Structure 1
Amino acid sequence: MNEIAATPAAQVIISVIPIVGIVIGGTVIFFYLLWRHIQIKLLIKSGNYKPVHFDIKLFTLLTGILLTGVGLVLTFLILIIEGFNYPLLGGLIPLTIGICLLIFYKVYKNS
């Protein structure tokens, strides 16, 4: 095989890129949450705040369908490539979570 050895400088750069991405992503998320908190605080002070209604039943249906679909595809693909082995859990876990969310959707009663 033709293996090209990376120089030490290239290895450092390659290993630093994910760390920088995580730090920048964490910073963006932190400031979004901070500014959203300040915005909601000011809306409450001015009397213009209307709480958002979160429909958990619709959320569980959507998430359950998506996870079940992704889990099925991953399970069949990994089963074909690897057979019955530990990597199969990569498909079975989202499949099981998706099925559980669909069961929760069916059982949950709006109060």
Structure 2
Amino acid sequence: MEQIISPAAQVIISLIPIVGICIGGVVIFFALLWIHHETKQRIKSGEKTQSNFNYKAATLLCGLLLTGIGFMLTVFFALFDGISPALLGGLIPLTIGICLLLFYRLYDWKSNDSRSSDN
């Protein structure tokens, strides 16, 4: 038996992802703004401004997380909806994760490290 959902409830349910994306965008904007101001202050004070961010570890972590999440979402959507456009909700992060893992594996990290140490 199908339940009839009121139009007001459908609108509220459809707004939840939009609000989440907007809040996430605001958080990312202010994080980037904070980093920018921090870098400006370091330049003014004469400190070293080169970041110590480990791109190799971040690439591996993001690749593993996206592959795992994408695989689980793909399995979930395939079991409950079959072959449908909803399956893209799992296939897109799965593909991005696999691409990041391939980048981690194929990129020549040693030559990049030697070039960055020359600067």
Q: Normalising by structure 2, what TM-score?
A: 0.65
Deviation at 1:90, TM superposition (A): 0.7
The structure number with the bigger radius of gyration is 1
Residue 107 and residue 32 in structure 1: after superposition, are their counterparts in 2 closer, same or farther (change >3 A)? closer
Q: Is the 8 A contact 1:57 1:108 kept in 2?
A: no
1:87 match: 86
Write the distance in 2 (CA, Å) between the matches of 1:5 and 1:63.
Answer: 38
Q: Normalising by structure 1, what TM-score?
A: 0.69
Deviation at 1:58, TM superposition (A): 1.4
1:75 match: 74
Correspondence 1:38 to 2:51: no
Residue 4 and residue 94 in structure 1: after superposition, are their counterparts in 2 closer, same or farther (change >3 A)? closer
| Greater relative contact order structure (CA < 8 Å, 6+ sep) | 1
Deviation at 1:50, TM superposition (A): 3.6
Superposed CA RMSD in Å reads: 3.2
2:96 match: 97
Aligned residue pairs, count: 102
Q: What CA deviation, in whole Å up to 9, does each residue of 1:37-57 have, x standing for no partner?
A: 333222212212442123222
Write the distance in 2 (CA, Å) between the matches of 1:5 and 1:86.
Answer: 23
Identity of aligned residues (%): 48
Residue 4 and residue 49 in structure 1: after superposition, are their counterparts in 2 closer, same or farther (change >3 A)? same
Query: Runs of 5+ in structure 1 lacking a partner?
Result: none
Write the distance in 1 (CA, Å) between the matches of 2:95 and 2:7.
Answer: 42
Q: What CA deviation, in whole Å up to 9, does each residue of 1:20-75 have, x standing for no partner?
A: x948x63x655554454333222212212442123222111100100000011101
SS of residue in 2 equivalent to 1:45: helix
1:51 match: 50
